[in-house]
Amino acid sequence: MDKEENKKPIEISELGEFGLIDHLTKDLTVIDKNLIKGIGDDCAVFECGDICNLVTTDLLVEGVHFNLIYTPLKHLGYKAVAVNLSDIYAMNGTPKYITVSIAISRKFSVAAMEQLYEGIKLACDRFDVELIGGDTTSSLSGLFINITAIGQAKKEDIAYRSGAKKNDLICVSGDLGGAYMGLKVLEREAKLYMDDKDTQPELEGYEYVIERQLKPEPRRDIVRELAKRGIVPNSMIDISDGLSSELLHICKESGVGCRVYEEKIPVHEQTEYVSNKFRLDPSLAAMNGGEDYELLFTVPLDKKDIVESMNDVAIIGYVCDAKDGGKFVAKNGVELELKAQGWNAFNK
C-alpha cells in the first residue's frame, strides 16, 4: 500500500482557521499586476487609477458566531456590517460599499428579516456606506450572513500587518476584554433560561460589556484622528480574535518580535468587575477574549508625544527583534511567551 494512503487525515481543528487558510492557499500565485495584496491581511488591495480599492468579506453563522436567544436581529445586522467595516479601517482606509448575502430557514418571518435589515441600514447610515447588492437563498438550518465590504485609500496611506519596525511603539485604541465578558454574561443567562423558561435575565450592572458584545463600533474616529495628526501607522490590524493573536499576526508578517506590558493594557472598570465575578483574570480576557474590534497599530518612536496626546489610545509596548520573540510582561515583571489563544471557529 502506498505511504500516502497510510497517512492519517489532517483534522481541520489541528490547523485552525489561519492554518487552514495557509494550507489551502499555499500554491496560489498572484497573476494580476494591479493586485498589491491578496490573502494574508485584513483586506485585499488592488490599484485602480490613483486610488487603491480595499475588499474584505466575513461570514456569520448561527450557532457558531451568534446565538439568537440573546442576540436581537437588529443588533446582529448592525454587527455584521460593523465587523467588516472594521477591516477597512484596519487598513487605514474608508469603507464605501457593502453587499449582503443571506441564507434563511423557514423559522424566520418577513418581519424578522426586516429587523435584521434595519440594523444593516443603521450601520450604513452611521458610517456613510451604501448597500449595493447581494444574494438571498434558503437554508436547511438557521441563518447565515455574508457581507463583503469595499473601501478606498491612497496607496501611500495603507497600513498593512507587515510594516512594523524595530523600536516601533505598540498602540491600541479603546479598552479590551469587554466583548468577551459580555458574551460570558449572555451565555450564563441563556443557560439559565434554557433550564427554566420563566427565569428573567439579570443584566443590570452589565450594560457596558453586553453592548461591547452585541453592538461593536468600528474605530473610524481613530483613523480620522491619525490622519488629522499626519500619522500613517507602520502596521495595523483590528482586534477580532484577541490581542495575543493579533500581535502575533503583526510579528509574523513583519518579521519582528514584541514586548507588551500587562499594566499598560486598557481594561474598562466594568470588564474588571465582571471578570472578577466570573473568577477570571481581566488581563486574560483582554489578551485572548476577542471581538473588541479595537485597532492595534505600531508607530515610530518619534511619534510618542503625538500618540500620547490622543484620546482613547494607549501605548502598551514596543517592537523588538524577531529573535527576542513575542512576550507578555506581567505586572510582577515575569515575561511569558505570547500564544494565540483567542477565537477559533474550528476548535473542537
Contact 338, 328 (CB under 8 A): yes
* C-alpha torsion angle, residues 265, 270, 273, 278 (rounded to 10): -90
Phi, psi of 88 (to 5 degrees): -65, -45
Residue 342 has pLDDT above 80, yes or no: no
Rounded CA-CA distance 207/289 in Å is 18
pLDDT of residue 173: 98
- pLDDT tens-digit series, residues 138-181: 999 899 999 999 999 999 999 999 999 999 999 999 999 999 99
Phi, psi of 245 (to 5 degrees): -60, -45
Residue 56 has pLDDT above 90, yes or no: yes
Domains defined along the chain, listed by start:
3-157 (3.30.1330.10), 161-337 (3.90.650.10)
Phi, psi of 204 (to 5 degrees): -65, 135
Distances (CA, A) of 153 to 52, 296, 331: 5, 19, 39
At 97, the pLDDT band (50, 70, 90 cuts) reads very high
* 335 Cβ contact partners less than 8 Å away, ≥ 6 residues apart: 259, 327, 328, 329
Rounded CA-CA distance 64/76 in Å is 13
Handedness of CA 81, 86, 89, 91 (dihedral sign): negative
- For residue 133, what is its C-alpha cell? 447588492
Helix (H, G, I), strand (E, B) or coil at 294: coil
Considering the entire predicted model, what is its pTM? Answer: 0.89
At 343, the pLDDT band (50, 70, 90 cuts) reads very low
Phi, psi of 338 (to 5 degrees): -70, 135
- pLDDT tens-digit series, residues 111-127: 999 999 999 999 999 99
At 225, the pLDDT band (50, 70, 90 cuts) reads very high
Angle at CA of residue 124, ends 118 and 128, nearest 5°: 150
At 20, the pLDDT band (50, 70, 90 cuts) reads low
Of the ranges 41-55, 194-208, 221-235, which one carries the lowest mean pLDDT score? 194-208
What's the whole-number average pLDDT of the chain?
Answer: 91
At 22, the pLDDT band (50, 70, 90 cuts) reads low
- pLDDT tens-digit series, residues 183-213: 999 999 999 888 877 777 888 889 999 999 9
Rounded CA-CA distance 314/138 in Å is 45
Across 262-288, average pLDDT: 96
